[in-house]
C-alpha cells in the first residue's frame, strides 16, 4: 500500500513519510498496554474493535502488494518501494463484529530500521513476508523476529508467515517455510498478491487470532 492511486471506497489510505526517530507467533517483550494494541476487549460486541497490523519482511517481498490486494483487490506490478512506513485503514466485519484495521506497512529496507522500531510495541499482529523466489529474504526471517522482539512486540503476538509470489517458480520450498514457522510457533501460508491466492484468508485468520486471544493481563 502506498499513497499513490488508491480508490477503494472503504479503504482510507494515508501515506506518511516519517523522519528517523529512534524509538511489536512468538516474539519477546510484552506490550505494557496489556491488550496487544486491540481496542478495549471488554467492549467486545458493543463498539468497533481496533487492531493494528504490521508488515515485516525484506524489501521487495511483496508486503505492500499483499495489503493492497486485501484492501483494494488489485495488484500493481511496478515496484514502488515504501518510504519508511505507509498507513492505511480498512473497516471490516468479522464474525458479526465491526473491526477497524489499521495497517502499518513497513519498509523492509535497512535504511528505515530506526523508523520501524517505534511501531512494534503497540501492534496487535503482523504478517512476516518472504519471497519464495528469493532465498535471502527467507534467510532473513529470524532477523525480523529478533527486531520485533527487541523493540517491544508482545511475546505471543499473532504473526503469520507469508510465502509470497507463489505464482512464480519457487526456490524456497514449502517444507522449509513450514519448518521455520513451526520452530517459531507461527503459521505459514503460501500467498500471491498477484493472483490473490490466500490473501483474504491470511488476513482474516490473523484478525481472528488477534480478536479471540485473551489480553495479557486478562
Alpha-carbon distance of 140 to 37, in angstroms, equals 26
Q: Which residue number, 82 or 164, has a Cβ lying nearer to Mg ion?
A: 82
Minimum distance from CB of 125 to Mg ion (Å)?
A: 18
In the numeric block, the cell 489499521 is attached to 102
Segment interacting with Mg ion (CB under 5 A) among 7-15, 55-63, 131-139, 183-191: 55-63
The reply on whether position 82 binds Mg ion by CB under 5 A is: yes
Output the 3-class SS for 192-205: CCCCCCCHHHHHHH
Please identify which residue in 90, 116, 165, 170 interacts with ligand GTP, judged by CB under 6 A.
165
Please identify which residue in 31, 35, 64, 124 interacts with ligand GTP, judged by CB under 6 A.
64
**Grid cell digits, residue 42:** 471488554
CB 193 within 8 A of CB 209: no
List binders of ligand GTP among 83-142 (CB under 6 A).
107-109
CB 131 within 8 A of CB 158: no
Alpha-carbon distance of 141 to 125, in angstroms, equals 16
Alpha-carbon distance of 124 to 40, in angstroms, equals 12
The reply on whether position 61 binds Mg ion by CB under 5 A is: no
Minimum distance from CB of 29 to ligand GTP (Å)?
A: 24
Please identify which residue in 30, 35, 61, 64 interacts with Mg ion, judged by CB under 5 A.
64
* Residues near ligand GTP, by CB under 6 A: 57, 59-65, 76-82, 107-109, 164-165, 167-168, 192-194
Amino acid at each position: 500500500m502506498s499513497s499513490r492511486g488508491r480508490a477503494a471506497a472503504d479503504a482510507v489510505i494515508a501515506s506518511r513519510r516519517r523522519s528517523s526517530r529512534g524509538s511489536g507467533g512468538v516474539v519477546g517483550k510484552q506490550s505494557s498496554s496489556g491488550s496487544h494494541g486491540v481496542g478495549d476487549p471488554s467492549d467486545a460486541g458493543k463498539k468497533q474493535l481496533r487492531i493494528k497490523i504490521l508488515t515485516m519482511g525484506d524489501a521487495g517481498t511483496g508486503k505492500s502488494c499483499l495489503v493492497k490486494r486485501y484492501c483494494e483487490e488489485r495488484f500493481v506490478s511496478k515496484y514502488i518501494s515504501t518510504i519508511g512506513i505507509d498507513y492505511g485503514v480498512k473497516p471490516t466485519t468479522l464474525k458479526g463484529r465491526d473491526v477497524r484495521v489499521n495497517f502499518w506497512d513497513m519498509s523492509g529496507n535497512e535504511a528505515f530500521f530506526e523508523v520501524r522500531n517505534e511501531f512494534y510495541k503497540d501492534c496487535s499482529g503482523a504478517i512476516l513476508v518472504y519471497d519464495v523466489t528469493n532465498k535471502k529474504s527467507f534467510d532473513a526471517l529470524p532477523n525480523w523476529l529478533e527486531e520485533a522482539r527487541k523493540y517491544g512486540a508482545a511475546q505471543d503476538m499473532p504473526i503469520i508467515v507469508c510465502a509470497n509470489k507463489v505464482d512464480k517458480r519457487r526456490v524456497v520450498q514449502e517444507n522449509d517455510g513450514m519448518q521455520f514457522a513451526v520452530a517459531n510457533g507461527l503459521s505459514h501460508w503460501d500467498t500471491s498478491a498477484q493472483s490473490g491466492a490466500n490473501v483474504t484468508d491470511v488476513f482474516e485468520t490473523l484478525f481472528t487470532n488477534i480478536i479471540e486471544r485473551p489480553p495479557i493481563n486478562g
